[in-house]
Amino acid sequence: MIELPSPNFNERASPPDMIVLHYTGMESAKLALDRLCDPEAKVSAHYVIDEDGTVYRLVAEARRAWHAGVSFWKGETDINGASIGIEIVNPGHEFGYRDFPPEQIEALVLLLDDIRDRWDIPDHRILGHSDVAPERKEDPGELFPWAYLAQRGHGLWVEPDLPPQGVMGPPLDIGDVGLGVFSLQSALGKLGYNILAGGPYDDQTKSIVTAFQRHWRPENIDGRADAETRVRLMALLRHVTLLME
Ligand SMILES: [Zn+2]
């Protein structure tokens, strides 16, 4: 662990109970670290993990780092105040998105083991930046190994049985209305996304379905709520409900 203190933080009002994962989205680790420590930039994260597995600590966990921006999850809008932010070095969609190397993910798993020894952070509150800001953000993106992370004990993953083809009807998409759209929006809102049920399948619904797919159905991110997307959403909700009982 390399200490690289950033001046960009303030005090928390309450202990963290959420972890938000990001990619740096810059051409190099050096550029990202410089920016996250630049007082003018007013951004930071608690940790940065380089592609070789080197971990940098920029802000103490007890302090509030500035990584999430305008965000929302389950009624919470001060995501910086509620979370620990981890930046994972990757050029991202803008500069050449690529696989996260095993050394980097191993370092992340060990860091999460460590963080969760100190703070009470449930699996269903380990999220991507795109989950808490679906209309602005795409990170850590569809190459991030959420399924593997869950195997190693962090975050949620489900592999539900799928209904036979055709049983669930065509995918929901922009302009659709009706009970199917209402149920979809309700379920996304119940999971934690910033959406209210009612109204048509609009741009906001599509952004949130896209964010959901980036995290929980990364093989096909088209923003259309097909049967697999909906079955995975229902299975996750059931899982979270069981965890919370
Ligand atoms: Zn981010």
CA of 25 to the centre of ligand 1 (A): 8
Q: State residue 200's pLDDT score.
A: 98
- Residues 134-147, mean pLDDT to the nearest whole number: 98
Mean pLDDT of 94-108: 98
Residue 218 C-alpha to ligand 1 middle, in angstroms?
18
Q: What ranges do the domains of the chain cover?
A: 2-151, 179-244
Q: Ligand 1 being an ion, which residues bring their Cβ within 5 A of it?
A: 22, 129, 139
- Residue 238 predicted with pLDDT over 80: yes
**Ligand 1 center from residue 137 Cα (angstroms):** 7
SS3 readout for 48-79: EECCCCCEEECCCCCEEECCCCCCCECCECCH
The model's confidence at residue 104, banded by pLDDT at 50, 70 and 90, is very high
Residue-level pLDDT at 50: 98
Average pLDDT in the 192-199 region?
97
Provide the pLDDT for residue 243: 80
Q: What is the pLDDT of residue 106?
A: 98
- Could you tell me the pLDDT band of residue 193, with boundaries at 50, 70 and 90? very high
Cα distances from 51 to residues 20, 107, 118, 198, 218, in angstroms, run 18, 9, 25, 43, 21
Q: How far is the CA of 90 from the centre of ligand 1 (A)?
A: 11
Average pLDDT over the chain, rounded to whole? 96
> Cα 147 to the chain's mean position, in Å?
13
**pLDDT score recorded for residue 63:** 98
Q: What is the pLDDT of residue 168?
A: 77
Specify the pLDDT at position 53.
98
DSSP notation for 212-236 = HHHHH-TT---S-B-HHHHHHHHHH
pLDDT tens profile 145-187: 999 999 999 999 999 998 887 777 899 999 999 999 999 999 9
CATH code of the domain made up of 2-151: 3.40.80.10
Active site residues: 87
Residue 18's pLDDT band, with cuts at 50, 70 and 90, is very high
For position 180, what pLDDT does the model report? 95
User: What is the Å distance from ligand 1's center to 24 Cα?
Assistant: 7
pLDDT of residue 169: 83
Same-fold call for 2-151 versus 179-244: no
Mean pLDDT for the stretch of residues 53-65: 98
* CA–CA dist 91, 97 (Å, integer): 6
Cα 22 to ligand 1 centroid, rounded to whole Å: 4
Q: Give the CATH class of 179-244.
A: mainly alpha
CA of residue 162 relative to chain centroid, distance: 24
